[in-house]
Every structure is written in C-alpha cells, then in structure tokens.
Amino acid sequence: MERKVAGRPRDVALLAEMEAEHALLDPRLTAVDAALKDRSAELPALVRSLASTLDEHLAHEEESALPLIREVLTPADWGAFTGRIRKTQGVRGAALFVPWIVDGAPPADRARFLGALPPPVRVLNKLFWEAGYRRRGLWVA
C-alpha cells in the first residue's frame, strides 16, 4: 500500500499513524495475556487501557484508513490480500474470522459480505463456524 500512496504526504503520514497505533496495541495485549495467566489484580486496569487504545485506533481506522484503502486498492490488490490471508490463516482462521465479521452486522451488510464468499465457505459458516463462534462466547458482555 505504501507504493500506492507514495508522493501523497498526508496518506503516508496516515499509514505511519496506523503503524504507531498498532505498536501501542501489542504490548497492551501482551500485558492482558500475562495478567490473565497470573490472575493479576491489575487485570481490570490493563483491560481498560487496551479497550481505550483499541477503541481510539478502530475509530481512527474507520474514519481515515478504510476510506483510503477503498480509494487505492484495486480488485487485484484485494485478491492478493485474501490469497495471503488464506495461506497464512487457513480454514481455522476463516472459521473464526468469517463469523466474527458478520457478528452484529446489519442484515444487508451481512448478506453482502457472505455473498462475496465462495459457496463452500458460506456452507461451512452456516453449518459449523457460526455455532462454534457463538459457543466460544468471545464477545458476551
């Protein structure tokens, strides 16, 4: 993506901001994981810090980065991206990613996303993945 925005200082700066925000998230995630393992009394404060940082990042990403991505990435770029994701995450990754993406999405958005997937993926999601995702209870308040 950096090549696509070269010569566009504002967009280059935005990508640098996104990278810096991602760098803030990793140590917070690690700290929460460690606090969970150790049953640390600091866990609530660490989770609040992670949630705050993540909320700010996601808002920034949705407001600024996603429009840029939509502007500069071509269908071929998206194809290359999804191919890399498929190779690195495989079916196990898709089994969590697909139901997570559609969790809580408005029906039209859900249908559009699922409609773009190959039929076998839609079937797997409907028959197995969504139920498994719900059983995990990842986002229960």
pLDDT, tens digit (0-9, with 9 covering 90-100), for 103-141: 988 999 999 999 988 899 999 999 999 999 998 887 654
pLDDT in tens, 49-104: 999 999 999 999 999 999 999 898 888 988 888 888 888 988 888 898 899 999 98
The values of phi and psi at residue 89, to 5°, are -105, -25
Strands of 56-129, DSSP E: none
**What is the structure's pLDDT at 140?**
59
How far apart CA 11 and CA 4 sit, in angstroms, is: 10
Instruction: Convert 62-91 into a string of H (helix), E (strand) and C (coil).
Output: HHHHHHHHHHHCCHHHHHHHHHHHHHHHHH
Query: Taking the model in full, what pTM does it have?
Result: 0.64
